[in-house]
Amino acid sequence: MSPSNEDQETVRIHIMGKEYEVPKGLTMMDAIEHSGYRLIRGVGCRGGFCGACATLYRLEGDYKLYADLACQKTVEDGMYLMQLPFTPAGRKTYDIEEIGRDGNPLLENYPEVARCVSCNTCTKACPQDLEVMDFINEAIRGNIENVASMSFDCIQCGICAARCPAEIPHHHVAQMARRVYGKHNLPKSDHVAARVREIEGGEFDESLQEITSLSREVLEERYESREIE
């Protein structure tokens, strides 16, 4: 992967308008770092889960504006990219105990969902390939369960909100739906309550005490040799 390797196949990309030549096969994030940028924002888990590295790009000769996660998408020749680590979008404060028992809390808290003209730009922009416009329509109809299940894989990157001509904060609407649904509709999980009782009963105090008294070296050794599925 060394840039001095002459046999290495490279692609030409533009980062925020400046051209770079980078090895083929890198993710957008690796390519940005390879080109000398140090990422402080716009980077998170590097595993496609946290949604911090939302990136917009265009390809030469293609009118479409694409969006993807920098840690997941590999660079292509002629790619113009720009990171969008944060999208300003109003998020409501609410009491989860109080909302969602009746009425349509999504429409009440985010009345702008009714501005949707079904242009589908949000869906086209979603790096998770969610049917964003369809779940906004479910929000208008007050179907919290459908919003929750259709938006389950949302990683809150916010690109939908940045692209929406109706200025809807889709990801916050969907998050509210999942929280309300989880709070009021899903059955309580007995094993979590049982485990909380165990913890409160002091069942793990001893092992916690032991582990906090260990040295860094021993902890690292235990971490490295741990059994994982």
State how far the Cα of 117 lies from the Cα of 207, in Å rounded to an integer: 57
Distance of CA 14 to the CA centre of its chain: 24
d(CA 177, CA 120): 20
Candidates 123, 144, 159, 168; binder of another protein (CB under 8 A) is 123
CB 177 to another protein: min, Å: 15
For the chain, what percentages of helix, strand and coil (3-state, to nearest 5) are there?
40, 15, 50
Question: What region, left, alpha or beta, does residue 47 occupy, with left being phi > 0 and alpha being psi -120 to 50 degrees?
Answer: alpha
Residue 104 within binding range of another protein, rule CB under 8 A: yes
The token pair that represents 192 in the structure block: 């979590």
Residue 15, helix vs strand vs coil: strand
Q: Which is nearer to another protein, 29 or 106 (CB)?
A: 106
Give yes or no for residue 185 binding another protein (CB under 8 A): no
Tell me: does residue 116 bind another protein (CB under 8 A): yes
Examine residue 137 and tell whether it contacts another protein (CB under 8 A).
yes
For another protein, the binding residue among 24, 120, 153, 167 (CB under 8 A) is 120
Nearer to another protein, 126 or 154 (CB): 126
Closest CA to 115 of 156, 165, 152: 165
Stretch that binds another protein, among 9-17, 134-142, 195-203, 213-221 (CB under 8 A): 134-142
Q: CB nearer to another protein: give 116 or 130.
A: 116
Q: Is 143 in the site for another protein (CB under 8 A)?
A: yes
Among 56, 133, 154, 157, binds another protein (CB under 8 A): 133
Question: Rounded to whole angstroms, how far apart are CA atoms 157 and 169?
Answer: 11
Burial label for 83, CB within 10 Å (0-12, 13-18, 19+), is: buried
Among the listed ranges 23-31, 46-54, 119-127, 189-197, the one in contact with another protein (CB under 8 A) is 119-127
Exactly one of 41, 82, 145, 165 binds another protein (CB under 8 A); which one?
165
Q: Which residues bind another protein (CB under 8 A)?
A: 104, 116-120, 123-124, 133-134, 137, 140-143, 165
